[in-house]
Amino acid sequence: MLDARVEPRIQGLQFHPVDVAGGYVLILRVPASFDGPHRHQHKDFHRFVMRNGTHTSDLTYNQLRSAFDRTATLVERARHFINERTENIVAGNTWKPMQAGPLCVAHLVPIAAMDGRTTIDIAALNRDYASFIFSGWGGASSALNLDGLVVYSPTRDDAQTAYVQVFRSGAFEAVRVGGSQYVENDEHRRVIPSTTVTAFYREAATVFLAKAKLLGYSGPAIFRCALLQIEGYEFGVGGNFSLFRKAFSDRPNLVLPDVWVEDAEAVTDIDAIVRPIMDICGAFNVDDALNTGVGSGCG
């Protein structure tokens, strides 16, 4: 009935059978929905209804319009939040200054985090901050700030190489330096390694979705990746590319299209989320980088 007669489908439903004498009790937990309003079919009728205590009534025109506007407003808030954070990073307004060079940025924003009704327990997350350590950091420290919790890779100076910011609302941000410089055949080259960037985005999606689930965020979420401050850097390419076919971006900041996650709690295939982002960018050999950790890349 729930699958066939409710539109759109309700995400994150949980069924819990409980054995009792003479039979069983079935508990159905329905999370707050951000896909509404939901229409349900009863016989030959389709209804939009609301629940008030033990009473169920049909939505009025104004209530129905407000219900549609609410979801759209929350989605717009999520995108505005990511845009604002990205602009701050480009402007250098990060928790601490980042080292010079290209920056890989990933955001995950559950739509539920935008309703302003809940805040997460930052102190509890701080006690388990090690779960936010990304591969290659070699260690980490944490700090509390006005936005929430920061987990970062320690450096010898004040310039940071990587950090994760967990916002009190339940939104997530990860930033790391994504470029390298070296000399090849007497030529100074500035390169963005494809495997480094691809692995970072995949790990960010993995860590953030797992944490969102533990925090109880079900329903839709927006995941977005960006490569910032990449002017003058070439994309790392395979050996079949010559020096005359270097791959450069046509803009200083690459902000990739959003990925809409239907249910943050039910994601089982991280690659299904990350691979389309890389395919749209056209910057990496995604099958190699995601599945084997070895990527060539193009531009």
Q: Are residues 135 and 273 in the same domain?
A: yes
Percent of the chain predicted with pLDDT > 90: 35
Which residues form the domain of 57? 2-63
pTM for this entry: 0.77
Task: Read off the pLDDT band of 281 (50, 70, 90).
Answer: low
Do 40 and 98 fall within a single domain? no
- Same domain (yes/no): 89, 53: no
Which pLDDT does position 171 carry in this prediction? 95
Q: Which of 123-132, 186-195, 217-226, 228-237 has the lowest mean pLDDT?
A: 186-195
Question: Does 137 lie in the same domain as 23?
Answer: no
pLDDT digits (tens, 9 = 90+) for 217-276: 877 899 999 999 988 888 876 544 444 456 777 888 989 989 999 888 888 889 888 888
Three-state SS sequence of the chain: CHHHHEECCCCCCEEEEEEECCEEEEEEECCCCCCCCCEEEECCEEEEEEEECCEEEECCHHHHHHHHHHHHHHHHHHHHHHHHHHHHHHCCCCCCCECCCCEEEEEEEEHHHHCCCCCCCHHHHHHCHHHHCCCCCCCCEEEECCCEEEEECCCCCCCECEEEEEECCCCEEEEEECCEEEEECCEEEEEECHHHHHHHHHHHHHHHHHHHHHCCCCCCEEEEEEEECCCCCEECCCCCCCHHHCCECCCCCEECCCEEECCCCCCCCHHHHHHHHHHHHCCCCHHHHHHCCCCCCCC
